[in-house]
Structure 1
Amino acid sequence: MDTVELIRVAHIMGKMAGGGVEAFVMNYYRHIDRDLVQFDFIVDSDSTVVPAEEIKDLGGHLYEVPPYQRLAEYQKALGGLLTRNAYPVVHSHINTLSVFPLRIAKKVGVPVRIAHSHATMGKGETKRNLMKLALRPFANVYPTARVACSRYAGEWLFGKGTDFAVVPNAVELGRLRFDAATRGEVRASWGAGEGCCVVGNVGRMVSTKNQAFLIDAFARLHANHPDSMLVIAGCGPLRGLLEEKAHDMGLSGCVRFPGQVNDVSRLYQGMDVFALPSLYEGFGMALLEAQVAGVSSVASNRVSSEVVLTESCRLLPLEDGAYTWAREIWAQFEHGGRKKASNDVFDRFDIDAASRKLETFYMRLYKEARR
């Protein structure tokens, strides 16, 4: 019987901070056959949420490099690391910034260089958008393979007509399915009675997630329906400002900030309506999770329509304003109950099946590069 050679993949993570990209990679890492493919993680030294112990327990290595803002130091450290470890595959997750690590990877002779598009761009981030637009023309220069979380994200970074694979933001479907007992426990911990309308949001507390707008919408909903609650889970630099905003609006008693939650599947069980008013999303992993859990959802129309999988998910323009969002959230609540979708709607997002495909993808690229 032929011995299968282990492929060690270096994942360029940038700043790990508890966001969706990290969740994507870790979900695959937990389910991939680590006798065939092993992950190492290369992170910026100013990362704030790094699952170091789990990475170690799963057999991976964790390496820190200077932040990309110190570009000369970053490139020197990364080049040395890639050379010493002789990685056959480098997989970069930092969108337009992938030009920097993949350029170094090519320079030191890494044969398989994967650029991964996880996001696009939206209004309200002029400085960041200018940088993205300046770097985007180089997106196809250094990779040997291109992947994206959606057609939308792939076409934005690599261009329409460019060859790229869609690697879905897959999840544990069974873990997210509705469970009445868990719902009761979670809502009790929040102090939410059965008749209370619980609006939820899961995501990094950064400007792109637009949680300040959600608080404005919830304030209007709560004024008309006092038996309501908003739960914003996650961490990020804007948490203090969001908590202050809720306090100043007199909402401290009905807006919860549970912080970074390891098992987000429990959170969805307690929600009645999931709200995602993002300025932009390459995909919208939390919106997928909410739908799998059967939660009615309202999301910005700047989220990819590829993640709208059930009739209980509504896309709404942010330009319609906080009052319209409040009315739509309440309308979704009044419809009541969990909206169970047929299993085949979510089949392509099953993490076990998707992990087998990713293994095959890595092995194919590795074999082609060795010919």
Structure 2
Amino acid sequence: MPQNNETEKFRRGFLGPRDEQGLYRENEKIDVRGAASSVPAQDAPIRVAQVMGKMLGGGVETVVMNYYRHIDRSKVQFDFLVDADSTLVPREEIEDMGGGIFEIPPYQHVFAYQRELRRLFERESWRIVHSHINALSAFSLRAAKKADVPVRIAHSHSTAGKGEPIKNAIKAVLRMQANRYPTHRAACTEHAAKWLFGKGVDYRLVRNSIELGRYSFNAGEREKCRGELGLSDSTFAVGHVGRLTTQKNQSFLVDAFAELLKVRPDSVLFLVGDGADRKKIASRARELGIADKVRLLGQRDDAWRLYQAFDVFALPSIYEGLGMVAVEAQAAALPCVCSTEVPADVDLTTGCSHIELAEGPGRWATALLEASTVPSRGLSPSDAFGLKAYDIEASAVELGDWYIKLYEGAVKQ
């Protein structure tokens, strides 16, 4: 297949065909006809191409990696197709588990993006392509269809909301193609499925499951983590985890926290994550004179520990497909205050409540303080039962079985 300069420019760091150990030989360019096939030999695992878009440490990447860590990799293996401008690709972990990483042009370069995807799909002969880029899956699955990939899964992880007019306009156009190229559909909630695929369309519910035991509340870990953060026993810690973007609405949370400080000055707001709005959020905290009370911790890989240290969790998003961080927080028996734009699917325990953003920062401050009055930190039997549906061990078995069923169906065709 002819190459062009634009495509080649973005293929630096591309990991080529697998060697005898199942690893990839870096930067090797080969013709499609000589490619190693992703059709498994007898007893070899099925290889599924996971189209990830940009890996920036967000929720979707966390979901897919959770499944990859817990799926039976002797039966199903993942290969990750990531945009070349990704900043947080867990390369070493993926390769150690037997997965492959393919860097492709960023999706903003639409034509180069689709050319490279089609080239890879034809060369690697994946029977299953699972695309996680929401409305943008129209591009990746179009390329997969042109390459005659028999199983093409579009996965809806999110929705849309106010405050992002340009992005929403693009989404609206792409949603019209949402059902044109996939053979199968998946979503984290019914809300996310209806948003992308419309009403009455069949889809598979694939929950944003987590390792529940890892998040379980531990008083000793709480004391240790609060000490590391410099918190006294009496300090009221408000926590939030998420990309610093318009969608997650951290600027509103800073305003609400400023109101909270008027009532309880011995409080600290922790924002865990990074993103385009970091400077804006820091600037807003300075304007309100509370910069010393707002701590931006950046990207962290120990959120499970931080949940132990917090006293209440806030998720004021303007839209969500689910809001997986609220599931994590509830698994840690942490009271949660979410916006009404966060789907009710996230209400897994009695400690989760929803407040309209229109009620304003003052009402949110009150809600955060009221949530913290829960008498003890722990899960009731009913709370534990509600969380059980998000157990990654069981969910990974279900996903693996689905992949195998789809693969076997494709082979018979």
**TM-score with structure 2 setting the length:** 0.88
* Partner in structure 2 of residue 27 of structure 1: 66
Q: CA deviation at 1:96?
A: 0.6
Q: CA deviation at 1:152?
A: 0.8
* Partner in structure 1 of residue 49 of structure 2: 10
User: What secondary structure sits across from 1:349 in the alignment?
Assistant: coil
User: What secondary structure sits across from 1:209 in the alignment?
Assistant: coil
Q: CA deviation at 1:5?
A: 4.2
The answer to whether 1:246 aligns with 2:250 is no
* Partner in structure 2 of residue 88 of structure 1: 127
User: What secondary structure sits across from 1:283 in the alignment?
Assistant: coil
State how 1:106-145 maps to structure 2 within 5 Å. 106-145=145-184
Q: Are the equivalent residues in 2 in contact too, given 1:312–1:339 (CA < 8 A)?
A: no
1:214-259 Cα deviation digits (max 9, x unpaired): 0000011012211111111011121122122223322222211121
Q: Are the equivalent residues in 2 in contact too, given 1:295–1:338 (CA < 8 A)?
A: yes
Q: Are the equivalent residues in 1 in contact too, given 2:313–2:334 (CA < 8 A)?
A: yes
The answer to whether 1:39 aligns with 2:78 is yes
Q: How well do the aligned residues superpose, as a CA RMSD in angstroms? A: 1.3
Deviates more, 1:145-154 or 1:182-191: 182-191
Gaps of 5+ in 1: none
Which residue identity lines up with residue 366 of structure 1 in the other structure?
Y
Q: Are the equivalent residues in 2 in contact too, given 1:6–1:37 (CA < 8 A)?
A: yes
Q: Are the equivalent residues in 1 in contact too, given 2:255–2:361 (CA < 8 A)?
A: yes
State how 1:196-211 maps to structure 2 within 5 Å. 196-211=235-250
Identity fraction in percent:
48
* Partner in structure 2 of residue 214 of structure 1: 253
For 1:236 and 1:54, the matched residues in 2 are separated by: 23
1:135-172 Cα deviation digits (max 9, x unpaired): 11211111111000011101111111110010000001
* Partner in structure 2 of residue 363 of structure 1: 404
1:296-349 Cα deviation digits (max 9, x unpaired): 110010011011111211111000000100011011113343141322211111
State how 1:276-315 maps to structure 2 within 5 Å. 276-315=315-354
* Partner in structure 1 of residue 309 of structure 2: 270
The answer to whether 1:61 aligns with 2:100 is yes
1:339-366 Cα deviation digits (max 9, x unpaired): 4132221111100110000000100111
User: What secondary structure sits across from 1:155 in the alignment?
Assistant: helix
Which residue identity lines up with residue 304 of structure 1 in the other structure?
P
State how 1:172-191 maps to structure 2 within 5 Å. 172-191=211-230
Q: Are the equivalent residues in 1 in contact too, given 2:349–2:387 (CA < 8 A)?
A: no
Gaps of 5+ in 2: 1-40
User: What secondary structure sits across from 2:117 in the alignment?
Assistant: helix
User: What secondary structure sits across from 1:299 in the alignment?
Assistant: strand
For 2:260 and 2:389, the matched residues in 1 are separated by: 35
The answer to whether 1:71 aligns with 2:110 is yes
1:114-144 Cα deviation digits (max 9, x unpaired): 0000001111111111111111121111111
Q: Which has the larger radius of gyration?
A: 2
User: What secondary structure sits across from 1:352 in the alignment?
Assistant: helix
The answer to whether 1:236 aligns with 2:275 is yes
Q: Are the equivalent residues in 2 in contact too, given 1:296–1:339 (CA < 8 A)?
A: no
For 2:106 and 2:178, the matched residues in 1 are separated by: 20
Q: CA deviation at 1:45?
A: 1.0
Q: Are the equivalent residues in 1 in contact too, given 2:217–2:378 (CA < 8 A)?
A: no
User: What secondary structure sits across from 2:144 in the alignment?
Assistant: helix
Deviates more, 1:63-72 or 1:354-363: 63-72
Deviates more, 1:293-302 or 1:76-85: 76-85
1:16-62 Cα deviation digits (max 9, x unpaired): 11110000001011111111111111111111211111111111111
Q: Are the equivalent residues in 2 in contact too, given 1:40–1:61 (CA < 8 A)?
A: yes
Q: Are the equivalent residues in 2 in contact too, given 1:294–1:341 (CA < 8 A)?
A: no
Alignment length (residue pairs): 370
Residue in structure 2 matching 1:104, options 132, 138, 143: 143
1:55-105 Cα deviation digits (max 9, x unpaired): 111111111111111111111111111111111110000001100010110
State how 1:140-159 maps to structure 2 within 5 Å. 140-159=179-198
User: What secondary structure sits across from 2:153 in the alignment?
Assistant: strand
User: What secondary structure sits across from 2:103 in the alignment?
Assistant: strand
Q: Are the equivalent residues in 2 in contact too, given 1:41–1:63 (CA < 8 A)?
A: yes
For 2:292 and 2:375, the matched residues in 1 are separated by: 24
State how 1:158-169 maps to structure 2 within 5 Å. 158-169=197-208
The answer to whether 1:348 aligns with 2:348 is no
Which residue identity lines up with residue 267 of structure 1 in the other structure?
L
1:175-210 Cα deviation digits (max 9, x unpaired): 000001110111112221111111000001111000
User: What secondary structure sits across from 1:335 in the alignment?
Assistant: coil
For 2:332 and 2:373, the matched residues in 1 are separated by: 18
Q: Are the equivalent residues in 2 in contact too, given 1:65–1:74 (CA < 8 A)?
A: yes
Which residue identity lines up with residue 269 of structure 2 in the other structure?
L
Deviates more, 1:315-324 or 1:258-267: 258-267
For 2:266 and 2:128, the matched residues in 1 are separated by: 53
